[in-house]
Amino acid sequence: MRAVHTFLLTVLATVSTATAAASVQADSGIREPAAALQPFLATYDAWNGGRPAGAATMRLAREDGHWLLGLDVTGNRGLARWVRLDIDQDTVFDVVGDQYRPLRQSTRRKALFVDREVEGVYDWAAGSARWEGDIKAARRQPVALREGDMGGLLINLAIVRDAAPGRRLGYRFVDGGRVREHEYAVAEATEKVEVDGLSWEALRVSRTNGGDDETILWVARGVPTPVRILQREDGEDGIDLRLVAYEGVH
């Protein structure tokens, strides 16, 4: 079942690619203030290796005085359907100044012969984060937090917020007991992105320090979530999430 395990990890790597608004280098123009967060529901088609694999929904909502960002990925075609892939991921967070501050996180991955759940808590008073559940012992150790650290799902909000033509973005990823630095470059101009009959003028945002593992996102003005998220390995397309619908939720 190695292929199933690899597929699960690749899906999570794509939607959790990197986050933590540690630094945003200045661009040549004046950027408009970021819009205030508004609840939304977005629907994606999920592809793998150029073939349809399933569907994903991303939801941002207010719950109990905090923000909740949730992602549900369901495999209904090809290998993903055969292994009955289902991934649910939630992040509870607050907005503090211009930062998204994660508080709690949970991930459940289900597939044929696989049922794993991991939960994490970001304790800002103690200055550390810790994860428990179906995770390696080494990753259960406390991780020291810095201002601006975020978990994986918040990348979708952070990059939408920060992207502007020609910008360089720096992020510190703190998720699942891991800490990584990620750097991104934003294109100088928009390009047309077409998905399922929809068309956007979107900025391409590319990770620059991922080696042979590429992560590319496209961000369109006025759309609260990336219109496309693509993971490439050794020059070949892997997981590809393509936005097909979104709406505000009240």
Domain count, the chain: 1
**Domain ranges, residue 215:** 2-248
What are the φ/ψ torsions at residue 26 (nearest 5 degrees)? -65, 145
The predicted pLDDT at position 119 comes to 96
DSSP labels for 61-95? EEETTEEEEEEEEEE-SHHHHHTT-EEEEEEEEEE
Residue spans of alpha helices (H) in the chain? 2-15, 78-82, 155-162
pLDDT of residue 211: 72
Q: What is the pTM of this model?
A: 0.82
For 206, what's the count of Cα atoms within 13 Å in the CB-facing half-sphere?
10
Residues 141 and 81: their CA atoms lie apart, in Å, by: 35
Residue spans of the chain under pLDDT 50: 1-10, 12-14, 17-22, 25-31
CA dihedral of residues 25, 143, 15, 81 (deg, nearest 10): 170
pLDDT value of residue 145: 97
Average pLDDT, the chain: 83
